[in-house]
Amino acid sequence: MGLFDLTGKQALVTGGTRGIGLMIARGFLDAGASVIISSRDAGACEQARAELSAHGDVTAVPADLSSEAECLRLAATVEGPLHVLVNNAGATWGAPLLEFPEAAWDKVLNLNVKSPFFLTRALLGRLEEAASDDDPARVINIGSIDGLRVPALPTYSYSASKAAVHMLTKVLAKELGPRRITVNAIAPGPFESKMMAATLDAFGDAIAAAAPLGRIGRPDDMAGTAVFLSSRAGSYVTGAIIPVDGGIATTL
């Protein structure tokens, strides 16, 4: 098997119907993995499944992962060993300080922080079934550079949630390492996605100009990092927070 080959592996990507999740799912399929994608929107699941089927073996399971019950239901649909879990489903909310509502904390924290914890726990058995000393099972949490630096916009619960995801990644890496499961986080900068659409429409040129590499992220940038972490090439990496941002946060 090649250094970056995922042939024979099964991966689950939450929030896999659009944006970063779709980029990662397509990258996994192109590397030879079979992929399960999940989203709360059944229509989006079917549309993404149809689009991705040209790249390989993909199935779609609708689920709203903001509750533990739905995490358990999704986990119960996974058959056989699970080699890679990507906790990507997420939400954001922006509002001025004095107008920021309680609902913005509940929605964002439930999906961005609770979901990775409860879904990972629910799938431990499947991950351990796939794991070996030479080729651990992998958990990849999607954080954000807004969890590494103070964000420019008033997204209080989002930035706090992503900082929490980064710390949860390190805690789980320490605990699950002896079970032959690596846990890492990718901290994306600006990529074209529904979540970033309004920001890029308004400030895209300025954001690109502020990056040392002079552009926003492309699908291969995200897919390549996820494939690295999931392949033999990334088998000795755990507890890492990897910014994929063109240098925006890492060169401040």
**CATH number assigned to the domain comprising residue 184:** 3.40.50.720
- Tell whether the model's pLDDT for residue 206 goes beyond 90: no
**What's the rounded Cα separation, in Å, for the pair 30 and 21?**
14
The answer to whether position 252 is within a domain reads no
Residue 156 catalytic? no
The answer to whether position 249 is within a domain reads no
pLDDT confidence of residue 194: 65
Higher pLDDT, 38 or 210: 38
User: What are the start-end ranges of the E strands in 22-94?
Assistant: 34-39, 58-62, 84-87
Of these residues, 28, 158, 191, 228, which one is catalytic? 158
The answer to whether position 5 is within a domain reads no
Residue owning tokens 């996820």: 226
Q: Token digits for 118?
A: 């409860």
| Torsion (CA) 24, 202, 94, 185 in degrees, nearest 10 | 30
- Tell whether the model's pLDDT for residue 203 goes beyond 90: no
Residue 101, judged by CB atoms within 10 A of its CB (0-12, 13-18, 19+), counts as exposed
The answer to whether position 250 is within a domain reads no
- Yes or no: say if 77 and 122 are a contact pair by the CB < 8 Å rule: no
Res. 195 pLDDT band, cuts 50 70 90 = low
pLDDT tens, position by position, 141-193: 999 999 999 998 999 999 999 999 999 999 999 999 999 999 999 999 988 87
Longest CA–CA span in the chain (Å) reads: 55
Could you tell me the residue range of the domain that residue 22 belongs to? 10-244
What is the tally of structural domains in the chain?
1
pLDDT confidence of residue 23: 97
**What's the rounded Cα separation, in Å, for the pair 201 and 63?**
30
**What's the rounded Cα separation, in Å, for the pair 54 and 141?**
26
Q: Token digits for 201?
A: 């429409």
**What's the rounded Cα separation, in Å, for the pair 41 and 60?**
10
pLDDT confidence of residue 199: 73
The answer to whether position 214 is within a domain reads yes
Weakest mean pLDDT among 185-189, 206-210, 240-244: 206-210
The answer to whether position 237 is within a domain reads yes
The answer to whether position 65 is within a domain reads yes
Res. 72 pLDDT band, cuts 50 70 90 = very high
3-state secondary structure of 39: strand
Q: Please tell me the chain's helix, strand, coil percentages from 3-state DSSP, rounded to the nearest 5.
A: 50, 15, 35
pLDDT tens, position by position, 1-45: 799 999 999 999 999 999 999 999 999 999 999 999 999 999 999
The answer to whether position 3 is within a domain reads no
pLDDT confidence of residue 216: 87
pLDDT tens, position by position, 77-116: 999 999 999 999 999 999 999 999 999 999 999 999 999 9
